Amino acid sequence: MDKLYVIKIGGNIIDDETKLSLFLKEFANIDGNKILVHGGGKLATKLADQLGIASKYINGRRITDEATIDVVIMVYGGLINKKIVAKLQALQCNAIGLTGADANIIPATKRPVNDIDYGFVGDVAVEELGFANLSLFLMSNLTPIIAPLTHDNKGQMLNTNADTIASSIAIALSILYDVQLIYSFEKSGVLMDVNDENSVIRSITPSSYQDLKSGKKIFEGMLPKLDNAFAALDNGVKKVIIGKAEQLNDMINGNAGTTIVNE
């Protein structure tokens, strides 16, 4: 099977023009199939503030009301997505910017209201997630750049977690490709000591993960990311790498970041 890299970048790269440009250069140079999923960054909050739209949070989680969904469509689906696409085109990478609504690549449902109404937030409809159009783009040498937005198939756009989009796509495409899922964030990898960037754990397997957890050696905030990584591996993804976007090449070559494998 051909290799496919599904790479997620977050706000720490998106908000920094210099870092973003350097990252995109390395990204454009990756040989073969690749998909970029980007998060939002601070721009949406900044724009909402300028427009006098109050950001609402419940238990630390943002609520996406009607005014806010318009802002995130503009910032994630418009400004950030198209700036990345234009920069990649200049680097001879034939990028195509997409949300989950475009070509219906990511069907979703509005999160049901239980205790909390998160508003226009989407949960990926994993069972409906096909790979037809994404693989069509890849086979035509196009590089999908995906914004963290989906739609409910009833005409409504929905704000959606970029990590979930990345893992859902990686899993769906693992039927056709040998998929490596790369999560970039602000740290160099999973750290033994959260304050020491040199304490990167180079490799984690299911058994070493159990040891690390029972020994409480991993920063608690990392556990959901790692649980997601193992779920992706259990569903067909070959390898998950967690690290700094600035070290993309080294991560791919196995010289940086934390590699998570099911063996």
Contact set with a second copy (CB under 8 A): 47, 50-51, 70, 73-79, 81-83, 85-87, 89-90, 94-99, 101-104, 133, 136, 140, 142, 149, 151, 153-157
Residue 153 CB partners (closer than 8 Å, separation 6+): 104, 107
Q: Could you give the CA distance from residue 258 to residue 245 in angstroms, rounded to a whole number?
A: 13
Nearest residue (CB) to a second copy, 130 versus 236: 130
Q: Whole-number minimum distance, CB 119 to a second copy, in Å?
A: 16
Cβ atoms of 182 and 258 within 8 Å: the answer is no
- What is the distance between the alpha carbons of residues 58 and 53, in angstroms, rounded to a whole number? 16
Question: Is the CB of 96 or the CB of 194 nearer to a second copy?
Answer: 96
Identity of the residue, 70 or 178, whose beta carbon is nearer to a second copy in the bound complex = 70
CB of 248 to a second copy, least distance (A): 19
Residue with the two structure tokens 């690549």: 105
Element (H, E) at 129: none
At residue 88, φ and ψ (nearest 5 deg) are: -70, -40
The nearest distance, CB 30 to a second copy, in angstroms, is 18
Q: How far is the CB of 208 from a second copy (least distance, A)?
A: 42
Residue 153 CB coordination number (10 Å): 13
Q: Which residue reads 């999923």 in tokens?
A: 37
Cα distance between residue 255 and residue 148, in whole Å: 29
Q: Which is nearer to a second copy, 101 or 172 (CB)?
A: 101
Q: Which CB sits closer to a second copy, 122 or 243?
A: 122
Distance between CA atoms of residues 193 and 189, nearest Å = 11
Nearer to a second copy, 39 or 189 (CB): 39
H-only helix segments in 100-218: 132-139, 162-173, 206-214
Q: How far is the CB of 94 from a second copy (least distance, A)?
A: 6
Kindly state the smallest distance separating residue 157's Cβ from a second copy, in Å: 5
What is the rounded CA–CA span in Å between residue 34 and residue 39? 17
